[in-house]
Chain A
Amino acid sequence: MGEKKLAVSWITFACCEDSTIIFMELLNQHFFEWKDKLDFRFCKFLKGKNNAFDGSDVTFVEGAIATKEEEELVKEIREKSKKIVAIGSCACTGLPSAQRNTFDESTRREIMIIVERFGHLDKVHTVKDIVKVDYSVPGCPMDEKMFLDTLDKLYAEFGVK
């Protein structure tokens, strides 16, 4: 048996995936450290096979919740993950993905066809509107240092050395 690794997942909902890119660029410095300390469960930008949330210590949730399908999935993720970290502005505050929440009536009518056809919710929500969030890393894109600090906290909580 090796050392305990932190089982992590990363999912994106309605967003531009800017924090995913920040994570990708943090890999430039942290790849080998994280390879040893993190066990990637669901992480579609890093691997093709065995993407599943089951057994995740923590799931990083990037983006706002815009559709019924996303709402159901984030609830399922909550069940399967011990901790949830909301990542980036859309996950934490809804914006800018939630810009349609404040559209005037005529603009709302204009977008209604897509809202209905693709199962969008009436309003776009933050992650904590839908499920309990344990930590948040705000920023557009996410603040790098806050992300690293959060990871350190999670290492400590889960006994990852």
Chain B
Amino acid sequence: MHKEGEFDIDINHLSKIEGHTDLEVKVRGGKVEHAHLKISESKRFFTQGVRGKPALAVAQLVSRICGTCSIAHLTCCIQAVESAMGITPSEQTMVLRHLTNDGLMIRDHAMHLYVFCLPDIMNADSILELADRDRSLIEKALEVKSAGNELSKLVAGRAVHAPYPNVGGFTKILSNDEARKMAHTLSHARGHALEFADMFRDAMPLFERKTHFIGLKNPNYEFIGGELCSTEGYCIPEGQFLNHLDRVVVPYSQATGFEFEGKEYMVGALARMNLNREALHRDTKADLSSMLAYFPSNNIYMNNLAQAIEIVNCIDHAIEKLQTTDFAPEQYKTPPVKAGTGIGVTEAPRGTLYYALKTDEKGNIEYINLVIPTAQNMINIEKDMAKIVQDNLDTGRDRERISMEVEKLVRAYDPCISCATHFLKLKIKEMKGEPRTAAKKPHNQFALG
């Protein structure tokens, strides 16, 4: 029996997210003492594993950091290697990269929204249960998810660890016939994607805490290229990102956190929507203009709506490219290698993904530094967890209800735990300290991954 206002919430292996994490909240005297996101997934030491490997092949290895957003790692690493070796991909290659990432966003957001979150907003435990209530709703959800999967399969060979994208180009190019057919499939799924956006708009709980948002900003709401901007109103070139970041060691977690200019921040669909919604596709804006009025928003649940809008936007972008591009066969040539340093930045489904790497004269990797979206969100997530628990305590809710609210909140971030764990090295003196410590610049601390 707990005294009133004194309890712990321990959620072991949070369900309906990517990967393994535990949540731990301690309440004493009616106040939140701490709220921890304890990432419990085993590290696999890719930082060390990539050293000495051929840079032209290493993108396929780092793809294995994460199953669900493998295409983001693949794309970002390829861009970093190209930047290190001075390789400029063809215009067609860039179209194919954008299409591959459109497929990724549609599939990955659809998994998060329809499989993980839809049960939350419809008071069900799972989509299995929802299917008994409304079969056609689940059929529509699966059709949208499938369209994203098929788009990645067509353009990149597979939606997970895609084989066609390589440094310098694609090893197989889709035909115009295939492209036009795919556009048709996407057009059909689009209507459902709009319906789901409506559902998520109508079901968003309100939870606000002032924070900062960071993401790539470019004229066509693309996931590659542009400047890194903050909702505080300034932008920096991609290459300077690390100079503004502090790594924060979290002793109880197998992942590391980040602060930007000493403050917690959020990356992901909500950040992109807050920063760059004017750049959405004209068709998306035409159909969803009323929803765009909700942004900018500090309500983390709006991340779900932002993802729902991004699904429509990616469909519209992809349809346009598939219908208007004249896809031509291109013979893939293995590019010549050289020594250099390079940077890759992409917007992964869960936010800004950053690769910095160095190659030697044989074209082998000396090191790779990564900044992972979920790691960047970690401190923000914990601060939100503490606030939502306190808010709910103050309104007299019980432990079980509070526990449910915390789960929903963390799920709204769409955390990707596989990604978050695999790039860090903790220093002994930091490890021993119980309170977390902010490791200060210089940026080469990230060389340790």
Q: Which residues of A contact B (CB under 8 A)?
A: 12-22, 24-25, 27-29, 31-32, 35, 40, 44-49, 51, 66-67, 70, 96-97, 99-100, 103, 107, 110-111, 113-114, 117-118, 120, 140-141
- Contacting pair A118 B127 (CB below 8 A): no
**CA–CA, A18 and B69, complex, Å:** 9
Interface centre among B64, B111, B138, by most chain A C-beta atoms within 10 angstroms, is B64
Known A111-B48, A118-B43, A141-B160; judge A17-B18 contact (CB<8 A): yes
- Contacting pair B44 A18 (CB below 8 A): no
- Contacting pair A22 B115 (CB below 8 A): no
- Contacting pair B42 A120 (CB below 8 A): yes
Query: A16 contacts which of B16, B67, B125, B254 (Cβ < 8 Å)?
Result: B67
Report chain A residues within 8 Å CB of B13. Answer: 44
Annotate B116-128 by CB proximity to A: 1 below 8 A, 0 otherwise: 1001000001111
Please name the residue on chain B nearest to A98 by beta carbon: B44
Known A113-B428, A118-B42; judge A28-B19 contact (CB<8 A): no
**CA–CA, A115 and B44, complex, Å:** 10
Query: A96 contacts which of B43, B64, B107 (Cβ < 8 Å)?
Result: B64
Q: Which of B141-149, B229-237, B348-356 contacts A (4 or more CB under 8 A)?
A: B141-149
Distance to closest chain B CB from A125 (angstroms)? 12
Annotate B96-131 by CB proximity to A: 1 below 8 A, 0 otherwise: 000000000001000100011001000001111101
Please name the residue on chain B nearest to A65 by beta carbon: B42
Told that A14-B44, A17-B66, A24-B111 touch, could you supply 12 new A-B pairs with CB distance under 8 A? A13-B42, A16-B67, A18-B64, A18-B68, A19-B67, A24-B115, A28-B149, A29-B146, A46-B126, A103-B45, A118-B43, A120-B42
- Contacting pair B426 A114 (CB below 8 A): yes
Distance to closest chain B CB from A123 (angstroms)? 13
Report chain B residues within 8 Å CB of A15. Answer: 67, 418
Known A25-B146, A25-B149, A113-B426; judge A48-B126 contact (CB<8 A): yes
Q: Which residues of B contact A (CB under 8 A)?
A: 13, 15-20, 41-46, 48-49, 51, 61, 64-68, 70, 107, 111, 115-116, 119, 125-129, 131, 135, 138, 142-143, 145-146, 149, 158-161, 254, 407, 418, 425-426, 428, 431
Interface centre among B49, B65, B119, by most chain A C-beta atoms within 10 angstroms, is B49
Distance to closest chain A CB from B417 (angstroms)? 9
Please name the residue on chain B nearest to A66 by beta carbon: B42
**CA–CA, A35 and B138, complex, Å:** 12
Please name the residue on chain B nearest to A17 by beta carbon: B67
Query: B43 contacts which of A46, A49, A70, A114 (Cβ < 8 Å)?
Result: A114
- Contacting pair A12 B20 (CB below 8 A): yes
